[in-house]
Amino acid sequence: KSRNITDSETDGMKKIPSTKRETAAAFLKKVAKEFGFNSNGFSVYLNRNKTGEILSQNKTLSLLKIKHGDMLYLFPSGAPSSSGEVMDTVQEDEIDQYLAKQDGKIYRNKDPQLCRHGALGKCVHCVPLEPFDEDYLNHLDPPVKHMSFHAYIRKLTGGADKGKFAALENISCKIKSGCEGHPPWPEGICTKCQPSAITLNRQKYRHVDNIMFENHTIADRFLDFWRKTGSQRMGYLYGKFTEHKDIPLGIRAEVAAIYEPPQNATQNSLELVDDPKAAAVDEIAAKLGLCKVGWIFTDLLSEDTRIGTVRYSRNKDSYYLSAEECITAGYFQNHHSNPCRLSRDGHFGSKFVTVVATGGPDNQVHFEGYQVSNQCMALVRDECLLPCKDAPELGFAKESSPEQYVPDVFYKDKDKFGNDVTFLARPLPVEYLIIDITTTFPKDPQYTFCSTQRFPIENRDILGEIQNFHSLATYLSQCTSTAFLDIVSDFHLLLFLVTNEVMPLRDSIGLLLDAVRTSNEDLAQTWKKSEQWATIEQLCSTVGGQPSSSLGYGAMGGPSVPASSSAMWSCLHCTFMNQPGTEHCEMCSLPRS
């Protein structure tokens, strides 16, 4: 009752269980599902030479003389294309759609020494190279250890025009559900439902090849939190994925802003707390043409506070990312998976990057970029990986328990005699899980947001940097001679305008964000005439433009409490019920009268 299908070129052979009375149409539907194609992305043939096509029709398999155990051949249909126009229901990221259309070849000039042909000729010394050419990548300066993800796809598909296709497999470490031959784990398991053992290998490709902060100010303002408090800090990187031209078919994560979510940190710990604004931030970013491209955290320790040096603590003898950080990175990557047509469930890997701000060998702050491998993502997703308590550089593959079956996890290394030896991943050096990504700043600063004044960054109340209508008034008073578009072109300000509790922008927000996204001063001017902006300006003029701390809103204290009044009072501006004795509303910080 089962039939084999192979794609003949890659070794993607699959068994498709079916019955004699099944129609060809129903059978092809099953095949599509099994291989992750849409129904017209491929054809199935009786013969390897593409004869005897099985058409989608109302004829049974027995009528078509297809028997149990027959080998059939599947080919992507339509014009030969590199990655096959299959699974067109998956909406890939724009950058992936763009790169899939590029030819990616590495063109070379005629070599004056080696080429012995005319100007138009080509020979082995000068024909274009494939984007995955390892020799080429190794000879770049600095050498590139990982090919780009799109180069990897080209490699799997045999170059740009060979018409092969690749199916990318999402690793699973879980028992396949629905196995009926035996009682569920821990009473039973069989070869059909047992996940296979995993041998960790260094991933050959990477989903992101470069991380670029638009300018130093962005990173510097983030570091300021640590400089001023000594507490570590975490932020989400918002930006875009663009082409990274230094590497064939490469992808760059460009960072335009860092959003700092609510968190609870000390000098040596960092804990995220629930963020009620998380969804709003993503939505605003999307309307500005940005997305969350990764996260950044500090691991900084002052070496000499007088000259501002920091300790060099992460290196090849200690670790680059701790196992715990790898697990967090894996968690984030799983939550930001990469839409991909070549994967059965429409996702493969992730473009979400991790940046650590830490001391370098020169005792200055360095930004180091990483991702964890897709194998690590799977281990994290299926809860198979633990950090080692006493060694940050070591992870530990869980053992099976009655609650959870965990496949064996191995890694290969050389023993002291130089032989390849397989080790059980208990423990496991995290270098088997991480991929490094160069992190850069452009020579000429770039910017998405053109504001030159600084509106306070969110969730920094502990520093006395508070977002409220005082700080907005102050900010506006600093920008009197600036074009309105420049004034509103600040990520943190826009977040405040949309998410503040007193006067959150609602309907007209789209127009404002459009103006900023397209840098359209006319649009910004139109929005400026809106009723909402008039109200905001009015609120600002009521509270005045003094720095908030001079009104008693320092890091610690609220306003001074006059002894007289003893009743709760409702704010005229936002109706919040305030504690007795206060003169400014706790919610909107506007004065009581």
Ligand X SMILES: *[C@@H]1O[C@H](CO)[C@@H](O)[C@H](O)[C@H]1NC(C)=O
- The correct pick among 119, 120, 124, 273 for binding ligand X (CB under 6 A) is 273
**Does residue 448 bind ligand X (CB under 6 A)?**
yes
582-586 contacts: CB < 8 A, separation 24 or more? 582/558, 583/559, 584/551, 584/553, 584/558, 584/559, 586/558
- The correct pick among 2, 19, 47, 318 for binding ligand X (CB under 6 A) is 47
Least distance from ligand X to the Cβ atom of residue 493, Å: 10
What pairing do the DSSP bridges indicate for beta strands 309-310 and 302-304? antiparallel
User: Among the candidate windows 199-207, 234-242, 443-451, 563-571, which touches ligand X by CB under 6 A?
Assistant: 443-451
**Does residue 268 bind ligand X (CB under 6 A)?**
no
* Residues in binding contact with ligand X, number by CB under 6 A: 24
- Kindly give, in sequence order, each residue whose CB lies less than 8 Å from that of residue 465, ignoring residues fewer than 6 positions away: 456, 457, 471
As to burial, measured by CB atoms within 10 angstroms (0-12 exposed, 13-18 middle, 19+ buried), residue 140 is exposed
Q: Looking at residue 555, what DSSP letter applies?
A: S
Task: Report how far residue 285's alpha carbon sits from residue 203's, in angstroms, rounded to the nearest whole number.
Answer: 31
Task: Report how far residue 75's alpha carbon sits from residue 36's, in angstroms, rounded to the nearest whole number.
Answer: 13
Would you give the binding string for ligand X spanning residues 298-337, x where CB under 6 A is met? ---------------------------------------x
User: Among the candidate windows 128-136, 317-325, 449-457, 567-575, which touches ligand X by CB under 6 A?
Assistant: 449-457
**Does residue 83 bind ligand X (CB under 6 A)?**
no
**Does residue 51 bind ligand X (CB under 6 A)?**
yes
Nearer to Zn ion, 176 or 216 (CB): 176
Q: How many CB atoms lie within 10 A of CB 524?
A: 22
**DSSP-based three-state secondary structure for 34:** helix
Q: How many CB atoms lie within 10 A of CB 352?
A: 28
Task: Extract the tokens encoding 439.
Answer: 């992190």
Instruction: Assign residue 129 a region (left: φ > 0; alpha: ψ between -120 and 50; beta: otherwise).
Output: beta
**DSSP-based three-state secondary structure for 378:** helix
Least distance from ligand X to the Cβ atom of residue 38, Å: 17
Least distance from Zn ion to the Cβ atom of residue 344, Å: 20
- The correct pick among 137, 223, 237, 257 for binding ligand X (CB under 6 A) is 257
Task: Extract the tokens encoding 393.
Answer: 């550089």
**Does residue 218 bind ligand X (CB under 6 A)?**
yes
Least distance from ligand X to the Cβ atom of residue 46, Å: 8
Nearer to ligand X, 264 or 570 (CB): 264
**Does residue 362 bind ligand X (CB under 6 A)?**
no
Q: How many CB atoms lie within 10 A of CB 383?
A: 13
410, β-bridge pairs: 199, 424
CA angle 414, 416, 421 (to 5 degrees): 35
Nearer to ligand X, 57 or 477 (CB): 57
Q: Where are the beta strands (DSSP E) in 454-546?
A: none
**Does residue 447 bind ligand X (CB under 6 A)?**
yes
Q: Tokens 């299926």 correspond to what residue?
A: 382
Q: Binds 218, which of Zn ion, ligand X, none (CB < 5 to 8 A, cut-off by type)?
A: ligand X
**Does residue 49 bind ligand X (CB under 6 A)?**
yes
Q: Binds 345, which of Zn ion, ligand X, none (CB < 5 to 8 A, cut-off by type)?
A: ligand X
Q: Binds 126, which of ligand X, Zn ion, none (CB < 5 to 8 A, cut-off by type)?
A: Zn ion
Q: Binds 123, which of ligand X, Zn ion, none (CB < 5 to 8 A, cut-off by type)?
A: Zn ion
Task: Report how far residue 146's alpha carbon sits from residue 144's, in angstroms, rounded to the nearest whole number.
Answer: 6
Would you give the binding string for ligand X spanning residues 159-198, x where CB under 6 A is met? -----------x-x-x------------------------
Least distance from ligand X to the Cβ atom of residue 102, Å: 25
**Does residue 242 bind ligand X (CB under 6 A)?**
no
* Helix pair 374-381, 323-335: axis angle to 10 deg: 90
Q: Looking at residue 463, what DSSP letter applies?
A: G
Task: Extract the tokens encoding 417.
Answer: 């005699």
Least distance from ligand X to the Cβ atom of residue 264, Å: 3
Q: How many CB atoms lie within 10 A of CB 356?
A: 22
**Does residue 214 bind ligand X (CB under 6 A)?**
yes
- The correct pick among 445, 510, 547, 580 for binding ligand X (CB under 6 A) is 445
Least distance from Zn ion to the Cβ atom of residue 182, Å: 6
**Footprint of Zn ion (CB under 5 A):** 115, 123, 125-126, 179, 190, 192-193
Task: Report how far residue 220's alpha carbon sits from residue 260's, in angstroms, rounded to the nearest whole number.
Answer: 13
Distance of CA 466 to the CA centre of its chain: 29
Nearer to Zn ion, 128 or 504 (CB): 128
Residues making contact with ligand X (CB under 6 A): 47, 49, 51, 58, 170, 172, 174, 214-215, 217-218, 256-257, 264, 273, 337, 345, 347, 445, 447-449, 451-452
